[in-house]
Chain A
Amino acid sequence: MSLYNDPIGHWVVVTVAIALLLFVVLTATAYTVWFERVALGRIQRRPGPNRVGPFGLLQLAADGIKLAFKESFVPAETDKLLFVIAPTIAVAAAFLSWAVIPIGLWYNVQYWIADVNIGVLLIFAFSSLNVYAIVIGGYASNNKYSLLGGLRSAAQLISYEMALGLSLVPTFMIVGSLRLRDIVEYTVHWGWYNGPIPLILLTPIGFVIYLMAAVAETNRAPFDLPEAEQELIGGFLTEYSGLKFVMFYLAEYINMITVSALAALLFFGGWYLWVIPPVIAFFIKIVLFLFLYIWLRGTFPRLRYDMLMRLGWKVLLPLAIANVIVTGIVLVATQG
């Protein structure tokens, strides 16, 4: 195996690249929160944060430092270990997906951490661990609203996980690979046009299902049932404070960026956008998706829990299966 023969320098470069990626993701998370607060403010015709630093850009740094120096206590009569493990699992599950997300190419150098054959499945695997964070967080809080919120949220996550997985099957059929790089670089030969295309043209229904399932997977409005203040206080977050609360919050925003990046890679041609340099093109697409998320939150009221589960099981799941069947038939028929 070449692994043993490689000079150590290679792995130093990889380690530095990973540290850099984690730093970028963390920073991006902070600015996503800023972006959300400003955009939501504008949607509601108010200025949003604008006091700390230019355009309020340092607001998140101020909030972060404040929260870090707040007391982060563990409630009485609870399993202390589990209470601490829950936010740790949440952040780990959120970060790990970024190991297989390719960032793009720049002057013929490609940027990714791990380029593996099972690509997208690995992201599913890591994000499926998020359920533990939520159930254990709710369970260990020793609070009936936390427990109920955690269970509800977990049931929501697993219900939409299937629709999410099935919505991508047509993409895999067309490309014939699970590797994210292969999916982005999928090229068509249509008459005079030779080159990559945004796959949404071929699987529009898959994209619609993905979009809805992704919003539900990240627990964002209008599917933000775990944080239904009127019924559940703060759901599984109720008893969390200080840095442990920050960790849950961090995980939520990392997940939001992850699903935006995945949408850009799987359906909108990733880093290909006309003449715009690849990494910047990818960045623009992610920002547009994040804005879509915030726009949804600013526009739609929260669903009721039975409506949410009905949508997942009775609409999205059958629709996703039908989409797989129809795409399969069309693909095989046109291929001859």
Chain B
Amino acid sequence: MAIAIFFIAAAMAVAGAVGVVSFREPIRSVLSLVVVMLALAILFLLLSAQFVFVVQIIVYAGAVMVLFLFVIALFGPSRELARTRLRFQSWLSGLFVLALLGLIWAMLQGVQYRQPDKGVDLSVFGTVQAIAVGLFTTYLYPFELTSILLLVAAIGAIYLSRKRIDDL
């Protein structure tokens, strides 16, 4: 059953990704991206990463995508203009797809599929408590650096929009 769910979620993710690039209305592209995010959340859950699963929904589907949606809604339904095309565009895109497929294939060569480490208690793996232990002991330094990143983002956002506020 887990395998069936994996393939359904994976198909959802791919279909959503195709939707993002093929829809002409930006708002539909945003919704397709939300589908991708939800599908990724399901994939995390299948890996027993329950906390990451819920954070994926809260942060990506619930916050980041909302920002995208706001920006689209603020600008109105301006359809994407696809009048200008590069020369050999279809050939180039085919080339890139092939290159990407080759890259993925090359990456998969080095992957070793293995069982979870011996001695790992699978019943607590991925729980909030387990994540917290890692986050606040082993990975404390990256965690503190995140706050700097958020500070930079806050300052960036305020300066980006301030120019506009003064104009109004």
Contacts and interface: CB of A to CB of B under 8 A. Distances in A.
Direct contact of A and B (CB under 8 A): yes
A128 B54 contact: no
A24 interface: no
A135 B70 contact: yes
Q: Which of B25, B50, B58, B63 has the most CB of A within 10 A?
A: B58
B73 A139 contact: yes
A124 B59 CA distance: 11
Contacts of B74: 151
B62 A79 contact: no
B66 interface: yes
Given A4-B1, A135-B70, A178-B128, A121 B58 contact: yes
Contacts of B66: 131-132, 135, 154, 158
Interface residues of B, number: 25
A136 interface: yes
Contact of A82 (B27, B58, B61, B129): B27
A39 interface: no
Secondary structure type dominating chain A contacts: helix
B127 A154 contact: no
B69 A135 contact: yes
Interface in B71-94: 73-74, 77
Contacts of B128: 117-118, 121, 177-178
B154 to A, nearest CB: 13
Interface string B118-152: 00000000011100000000000000000000000
A136 B31 CA distance: 10
Nearest to A127: B62
Q: Which of B1, B62, B74 has the most CB of A within 10 A?
A: B62
Contact of A125 (B34, B62, B70, B129): B62
A122 interface: yes
A125 B27 contact: no
Nearest to B73: A139
Interface string A144-160: 00010011001000100
